[in-house]
């Protein structure tokens, strides 16, 4: 598994260190190559001087030395070493006779402690035909720079100077460059990380501002975006991002304000319209009931009696919708003023008993503890919440459906669940089932349904600091309400 830097700061610091390493490596290689070329040039100059000195020493007596060697008048190594007087120590010299190296000795080594071996002569012999300086490795002596030259009488001489001091200097230079490069890379990484971290502080501030915005309860419509990024005067990219973020937050804040204002106007209109409709609906319903009683004993066509019943039923349904809208408007504006201990066990028991009477074709089950479950809130609103949960099963399930109501206390919370085996919510409606008129917008339901049942449950739960959760699949639907329990229960 490859390890990658997680933050932008570490990535930039690593990038700076990598660039410093590459730049230092290139500079070191170039410097090493240049210095080696310079030192090799100096060594070649020394080689040419040594070769010229060797030619000067061997030219006046070259034939006599050669004849003495053939006559056996002395050892070749001693005679040649004696003739190398004046050459730098460590210089090798020798003759090239018929393509073979003879009299190969080391200058300033009259004792013969460093006499070249046969392998050395073989290595020198391979480059003896070149007139340019060549580097050759002698097994017993190391690397040498070798040059072949000629005397005035045409004899070929081989001269070589040791290359070890150049290699030693280059080796020490490489070590020094490596140490300096490592120190520079570490310094660049440290300074770069500090500088980058300092430069990234405005971005970290922007990230903090973004996190604070995500924590605002904007979906509730009760909050405004009062968070802004710090204005930077420098003409940098970070400052431009900060200004753009502030402009965006201002635009979103304005849009939220307009949304809140529009929703408030809509709620005010619904509340005002509902309030104004209560009286005419009550009058229309009372006259319809009066007309039905008056015409009950009158011989009128059945169609007239059916129309009067429809008028009475529809005015009653409209009155129910108006009452629901007024309740939602009141819940939107304020929290329950009355906070008292409410026995949810009794309320749920009464709601299930009523459901067994009004919907006997459903199978109703009830699960609750033996001791009362006490919640804290407004009894009238909590009774409406329980009634709507039970009525929701009655209105939106088929005959033969099994429905189970569960109530229990869990610590400081009260959990109320209504589970049924009905068809459930359509997938496209599940996330919007608690919205007002959600069912009326999505599919045709029973005429008894106003589409406000779960919306009232949601509003009552929120006004009591509770929550509403809905999970639904065909044959398995659960509506769960969690409310605060009474602290004295």
Contact between 97 and 62 under an 8 Å Cβ cutoff? The reply is: no
Contact between 418 and 389 under an 8 Å Cβ cutoff? The reply is: yes
Where does a domain end: 170, 185, 205?
170
SS3 7: coil
Check residue 478 and report its DSSP letter.
E
- Rounded Cα gap, residues 217 and 221, in angstroms: 8
Buried/exposed 125-134: b ≥16 CB within 10 Å, e otherwise: bebbeeeebb
Tokens of residue 390, six digits: 């039970």
Residue 24 is assigned to a structural domain of this protein: yes
Query: 207-223, pLDDT tens digit by residue?
Result: 888 887 777 777 665 56
The reported pTM is 0.47
Could you tell me the CATH number of the domain that includes residue 45? 3.30.450
Where does a domain end: 170, 196, 231?
170
SS3 477: strand
Supply the DSSP string of 334-367, one letter for each residue. ---S--EEEEHHHHHHHHHHHHHHH-TTSEEEEE
Contact between 329 and 274 under an 8 Å Cβ cutoff? The reply is: yes
Residue 309 is assigned to a structural domain of this protein: no
- Rounded Cα gap, residues 188 and 18, in angstroms: 9
Going residue by residue through the chain (489 aa), what tens digit of pLDDT does each one get? Answer: 455 556 777 888 888 889 999 999 999 999 999 999 999 999 999 989 888 888 887 765 544 444 434 333 334 444 444 455 567 788 888 888 877 888 888 876 544 456 788 888 888 888 877 778 989 999 888 899 998 888 877 788 888 899 998 999 999 999 999 999 999 999 988 888 888 888 777 777 878 888 877 777 776 655 667 667 776 666 777 777 787 878 888 888 888 788 777 777 777 776 677 667 777 777 777 877 777 777 776 777 778 778 877 887 777 777 777 777 777 777 666 655 567 888 999 999 999 999 999 889 999 999 998 888 999 888 888 998 999 899 888 888 888 899 999 999 988 899 999 999 988 888 777 777 777 666 544 444 444 555 677 888 888 888 888 899 999 888 899 999 999 888 876
CA atoms within 13 A on the CB side of 145: 22
- Rounded Cα gap, residues 149 and 51, in angstroms: 7
- C-alpha closest to that of 93 among 134, 143, 148, 140: 148
The pLDDT, as a whole number, for residue 309 is 79
Contact between 166 and 32 under an 8 Å Cβ cutoff? The reply is: no
Could you tell me the CATH number of the domain that includes residue 398? 3.30.565.10
Domain hosting 74: range is: 8-170
Instruction: Judge residue 255's burial from the number of C-beta atoms within 10 Å of its C-beta, 0-12 exposed, 13-18 middle, 19 or more buried.
Output: exposed
Average pLDDT, the chain: 79
Where does a domain end: 135, 170, 205?
170
Classify strands 402-410 and 363-367 as parallel, antiparallel or unpaired: parallel
Q: List the beta strands (DSSP E) in 356-461.
A: 363-367, 374-377, 402-410, 413-420
Residue 406 is assigned to a structural domain of this protein: yes
Q: In the chain, how many domains are there?
A: 2
Supply the DSSP string of 111-147, one letter for each residue. T-TT---HHHHHHHHTTTT-SS-EEEEETTTEEEEEE
Instruction: Judge residue 486's burial from the number of C-beta atoms within 10 Å of its C-beta, 0-12 exposed, 13-18 middle, 19 or more buried.
Output: buried
Residue 199 is assigned to a structural domain of this protein: no
Residue 182 is assigned to a structural domain of this protein: no
- Rounded Cα gap, residues 292 and 311, in angstroms: 10
- Rounded Cα gap, residues 412 and 74, in angstroms: 118
User: Please, which residues bridge with residue 136 across strands?
Assistant: 144
CB atoms within 10 A of CB 465: 12
Residue 274 is assigned to a structural domain of this protein: no
Residue 54 is assigned to a structural domain of this protein: yes
- Rounded Cα gap, residues 73 and 150, in angstroms: 25
- Rounded Cα gap, residues 103 and 79, in angstroms: 9
In sequence order, what are the residues at sequence separation of 6 or more whose Cβ sits closer than 8 angstroms to the Cβ of residue 78? Answer: 110, 112
Supply the DSSP string of 435-453, one letter for each residue. STTHHHHHS---TT--S-H
CB atoms within 10 A of CB 454: 22
- C-alpha closest to that of 137 among 88, 92, 87, 76: 92
Residue 456 is assigned to a structural domain of this protein: yes
């Amino acid at each position: 598994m490859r390890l990658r830097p997680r933050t932008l700061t570490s990535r930039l610091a690593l990038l700076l260190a990598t660039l410093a390493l590459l730049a230092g490596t290139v500079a070191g290689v170039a410097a090493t190559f240049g210095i080696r070329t310079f030192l090799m040039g100096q060594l070649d100059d020394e080689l040419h001087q040594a070769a010229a000195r060797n030619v000067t020493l061997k030219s006046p007596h070259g034939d006599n030395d050669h004849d003495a060697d053939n006559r056996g008048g002395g050892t070749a190594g001693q005679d040649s070493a004696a003739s190398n007087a004046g050459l730098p120590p460590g210089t090798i010299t020798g003759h090239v006779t018929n393509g073979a190296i003879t009299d190969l000795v080391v200058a300033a080594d009259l004792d013969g402690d460093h006499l070249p071996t046969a392998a050395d002569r073989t290595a020198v012999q391979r480059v003896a035909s070149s007139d340019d300086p060549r580097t050759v490795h002698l097994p017993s002596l190391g690397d040498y720079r070798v040059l072949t030259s000629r005397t005035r009488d045409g004899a070929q001489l081989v001269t070589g100077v040791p290359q070890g001091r150049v290699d030693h200097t280059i080796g020490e230079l490489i070590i020094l460059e490596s140490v300096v490069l490592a120190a520079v890379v570490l310094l660049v990484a440290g300074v770069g990380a500090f500088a980058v971290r300092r430069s990234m502080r405005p971005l970290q501030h922007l990230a903090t501002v973004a996190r604070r915005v995500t924590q605002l309860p904007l979906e509730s419509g009760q909050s405004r975006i009062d968070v802004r990024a710090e204005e930077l005067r420098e003409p940098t990219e970070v400052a431009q991002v900060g200004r753009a973020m502030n402009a965006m937050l201002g635009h979103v804040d304005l849009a939220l304000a307009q949304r809140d204002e529009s929703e408030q106007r809509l709620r005010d209109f619904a509340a005002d319209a509902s309030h104004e409709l209560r009286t005419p609906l009550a009058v229309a319903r009372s006259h319809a009931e009066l007309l039905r009683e008056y015409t009950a004993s009158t011989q009128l066509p059945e169609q007239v009696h059916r129309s009067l019943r429809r008028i009475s039923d529809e005015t009653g349904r409209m009155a129910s919708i108006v009452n629901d809208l007024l309740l939602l408007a009141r819940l939107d504006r304020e929290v329950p003023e009355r906070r008292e201990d409410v026995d949810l066990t009794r309320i749920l028991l009464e709601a299930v008993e009523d459901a067994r009477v009004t919907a006997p074709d459903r199978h109703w089950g009830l699960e609750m503890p033996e001791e009362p479950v006490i919640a804290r809130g407004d009894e009238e609103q909590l009774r409406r919440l329980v009634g709507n949960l039970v009525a929701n099963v009655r209105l939106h399930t088929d005959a033969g459906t099994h429905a189970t109501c569960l109530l229990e206390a869990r610590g400081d919370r009260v959990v109320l669940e209504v589970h049924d085996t009905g068809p459930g919510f359509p997938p496209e409606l599940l996330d919007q089932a608690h919205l007002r008129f959600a069912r009326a917008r999505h599919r045709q339901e029973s005429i008894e349904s106003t589409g406000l049942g779960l919306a009232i449950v949601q509003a009552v739960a929120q006004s009591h600091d509770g929550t509403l959760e809905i999970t639904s699949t065909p044959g398995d639907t659960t509506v769960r309400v969690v409310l605060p329990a009474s602290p004295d229960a």
